[in-house]
Structure 1
Amino acid sequence: MKQSYTTQMDAARKGILTPQMKQVLENEAISQTDLMEKVALGHIAIPANRNHLNIAAAGVGQGLKTKINVNLGVSKDVCSFDAEMKKAKMAIEYKADAVMDLSVSGDTEGFRKRLVSEIPVMIGTVPIYDTLTRTGKPTQDITIEDWFETVDIHARNGIDFITIHAGLTRKCATSIRTNPRLCGIVSRGGAILFEWMEKTGNENPFYEHFDRLLDVCEAHDVCISLGDGLRPGAIKDSTDAPQIEELITLGELTKRAWEKNVQVMIEGPGHVPLHEIEMNMKLQKKLCHNAPFYVLGPLVTDIAPGYDHITSAIGGALAAMHGADFLCYVTPAEHLRLPTADDVKEGIMASKIAAHAGDLAKGIKGVEELDHKMSKARGKLDWDGQFDCAIDPEKAREYRKSSQPSGSDKDVCTMCGDFCAVKRVENLL
């Protein structure tokens, strides 16, 4: 039977409950009516390309658990697709919600196809990068057809969401010159488009031909993640004129996408001091009509290379608390190198903690149950019960095993030993 809807948004507006919506309902404490209403409005996105056949769909947006994304992909200097596939499978093992392939070298299409066939979570890409890799052309020689051919390839490959920096217009680019920054443009996609516009004198092709982009996305049900090409790369640059000007444009493009039943997420800032995070979240929701918000961190200080998964988790927890729907993980290798598998695990755990902390603060129904279960196990010195509740049971078991109490009482730990508060009080209570 011929499909009677084009996208998840189109289905919701027609009152059709899709298989992907059913998958979301299985994992979220939201009613069917509420889910379909929010998908129809654009307040929830379900990125699920119809060519990604094995996807276990997830929802991103209002009233749902905060999701986390894992970035991976090869560079010219570190080019092992097998190693990146191991990272992707690690992301699944540790229950990440999405994987983004940011590869900029080698057989990128072959790797994308492999990801789509083997990885069941939503998969994102940045076609702007891949246009340079695929064509091998200098930036200024890229044609409009080149840009859109790449988007079409990614859509046909089964990619669920694509980051497109459509809001970085020539006007916004001028704002960078009149509002100097400490770190300028730190987005790779933003920098590529800025260079292309500067050298060709043309408008951003994805802004000028946005309807063409929407046609491709509607045809395959690809969610557009409207990228923040002018996101701040330093806390000094946070919430400046270029960032806000681009955000206003993204809000306008969001409405145009929804008119064509194309799902949208908005990408948010990278480096934001703590006291500006709440304002940034509320400003995005206001200017972009409550579209799902995907934040890159945010990092709350600039001085912690090697520990940026921690600075990101601090910002991510606060961002989630104030309305962010999707956190892009940051690893200890941020700003320093391509992350290793160990870095990926550290980044995933930090982001999962941030997302869960944010969900507790937002009052997402049911998320506190595991915390209460952990507390009960701790109150009984039930170590196996604690490990079962732990976000990383393997690490918790290793720490416990590495230092055992020397006395006759094996229930306590080597931090307190005979001074264990739980042990002293349990019989009294």
Structure 2
Amino acid sequence: MTQIQSAKNGNVTEEMRKVADAEGVSPEKIRNGVASGRIVILKNVNRELMRLTALGEGLFTKVNVNLGASTDHYNEEEEMRKVQIANEYGADSIMDLTDGGDIDGMRRKVLRKAEMPVGTVPIYQVYYEMVSKRKYVVNFTEDDIFNVIRTQLKDGVDFITVHTGITLELAKRLNERKRVAGVVSRGGTVMAAWSLYNEKENPLYSEFDYLLEIAKEFDITLSLGDALRPGGIPDAHDEFQIAELINNARLARKANEAGVQVMIEGPGHMPLDQIEMDVKLEKELTNGKPYYVLGILPTDVAAGYDHIAGAIGGALAASKGADMLCYLTPSEHLSLPNPEQVKEGLIAFKIAAHVGDIVKLGDRARKVDEEMSSARSSLNWSKMFSLTLDKERAIKIYTQYKERPMGSCTMCGDLCVYLVLPRVTKIKERGKS
């Protein structure tokens, strides 16, 4: 029995209890959310997790870390270092996007090392297997896709991105009417090219019932991919993005009815003033299904600093109801990220998620800020360092002009506001005595 089926029967599973404890809510709230499809728990029945992750209505905003080797650069040691960074700095999930080399081997190592749920994009492996056999991308069969999906789920993958919403009709329309930035989803490009070349419907759409059977067997979460997300802000909310969202909304309802958990991906690049509307649109069309947002990037000119631009958009999206942010690193649009860039991206998006939660969840999220404010006002440096997202970096910066954490920092020195007023108060009290 899947999580949704258990919830609909009124049962609270062990996973629901653990999630409720981590989130600070009642188990019944989690059960009801899972039953309605507004909360998902990312877990394959064949995998034991050190840290469970759930996302959805009334829960803290989660952050996903993308990693994985590419056809240009394959280094297992680097990727395992990235997994360790994700473990150490509190990523809520990992997506292994390896698309070259020993894809099976890399995935299995990631699954063994990661403390949290792991997701994949199976079509990447389908593509690479065609290339390695000296075939073109359009030569794979429907069975090739589903065989790769089953293999990955047998390994223990907890959620998969499947580009279900891009139909043959949409691919044809897209081919006739060009976008400014085109199609930026790798998986979406592959599925569109396959459908157009073979003049056949996208099998992830036409054989969705079969996909549900496989997903149900492993009780994994389907992440309905945004193959037609805007890759530049001029394309935001065009007919293709909206048409795909409508398709995915319909499929999401079908998945829940079949006992399969599902979340929706989106929306890529868009101006800041459209983000709130985008989140509300997804929630309205899908009846509150969890929204897994990529970015969101509110500008196209931040190369080298896309983690900052994405965090700005992500914070706003989280405050309006987005449920999980897919991080960006400084290398976005430029390179495969190195381990340090993975850390920078993760920290930036952890901050963005928290900023959004202060608005979305109120007091549940603000407690740590109140602790930090109290520690600052008393110059309690050890407490301040312990509350930061990167303690080592905070200490390193504090001590760059000062050896020991005591008294004021070197920005204000003797003019520290938390020193001046207490001194005046003490002098005045001595004068009275």
The aligned counterpart of 2:120 is 125
* 2:173 paired with 1:175: yes
2:355 partner letter:
A
Task: Assess if the C-alpha contact under 8 Å between 1:214 and 1:262 holds in 2.
Answer: yes
Aligned length: 422
d(CA) in 1 for partners of 2:29, 2:424: 48
TM-score of the pair, normalised by structure 2: 0.95
Alignment of 1:84-99 (within 5 A): 84-99=79-94
The aligned counterpart of 2:428 is none
Following superposition, the deviation at residue 428 of structure 1 comes to 5.1
Among residues 42, 51, 66, which one is paired with 1:56 in the alignment?
51
Deviations 1:255-303 (A, max 9, x none): 1101111000100111111000000000011111210000001011111
* 2:41 paired with 1:46: yes
Among residues 16, 37, 46, which one is paired with 2:32 in the alignment?
37
Following superposition, the deviation at residue 405 of structure 1 comes to 8.8
Task: Assess if the C-alpha contact under 8 Å between 1:64 and 1:364 holds in 2.
Answer: no
Deviations 1:66-97 (A, max 9, x none): 00000000112110122111101110100110
Alignment of 1:349-388 (within 5 A): 349-388=347-386
* 2:297 match: secondary structure: coil
Alignment of 1:30-429 (within 5 A): 30-135=25-130, 136=132, 137-177=135-175, 179-404=177-402, 411-427=407-423
Task: Assess if the C-alpha contact under 8 Å between 1:405 and 1:417 holds in 2.
Answer: no
Following superposition, the deviation at residue 385 of structure 1 comes to 1.4
2:351 partner letter:
I
d(CA) in 2 for partners of 1:71, 1:79: 15
Task: Assess if the C-alpha contact under 8 Å between 2:122 and 2:160 holds in 1.
Answer: yes
Q: Which sits farther off after the overlay, 419-428 or 275-284? A: 419-428
Following superposition, the deviation at residue 120 of structure 1 comes to 2.1
Deviations 1:9-46 (A, max 9, x none): 11111222222112211210221111101100100000
d(CA) in 1 for partners of 2:418, 2:183: 53
Q: Which structure 1 segments of 5+ residues have no match?
A: none
* 1:124 match: secondary structure: strand
Q: Which sits farther off after the overlay, 361-370 or 24-33? A: 361-370
Following superposition, the deviation at residue 366 of structure 1 comes to 2.1
Following superposition, the deviation at residue 348 of structure 1 comes to 0.3
Task: Spell out structure 1 runs of 4+ moving beyond 6 A.
Answer: none
Deviations 1:290-333 (A, max 9, x none): 10000001011111100000000000000000110000000000
TM-score of the pair, normalised by structure 1: 0.95
* Cα pair distance change 1:426/1:181, threshold 3 Å: farther
d(CA) in 2 for partners of 1:116, 1:132: 21
Task: Assess if the C-alpha contact under 8 Å between 2:58 and 2:361 holds in 1.
Answer: no
* 2:94 match: secondary structure: strand
Cα-Cα RMSD: 1.6
Q: Which sits farther off after the overlay, 411-420 or 31-40? A: 411-420
Q: Give me the identity figure in percent.
A: 43
* 1:69 match: secondary structure: strand
2:220 partner letter:
V
Following superposition, the deviation at residue 176 of structure 1 comes to 2.1
1:75 partner letter:
S
Task: Assess if the C-alpha contact under 8 Å between 1:405 and 1:412 holds in 2.
Answer: no
Deviations 1:161-198 (A, max 9, x none): 00000000112223324543111100000011111111
Deviations 1:138-166 (A, max 9, x none): 21210011011011111111100000000
Task: Assess if the C-alpha contact under 8 Å between 2:166 and 2:227 holds in 1.
Answer: yes
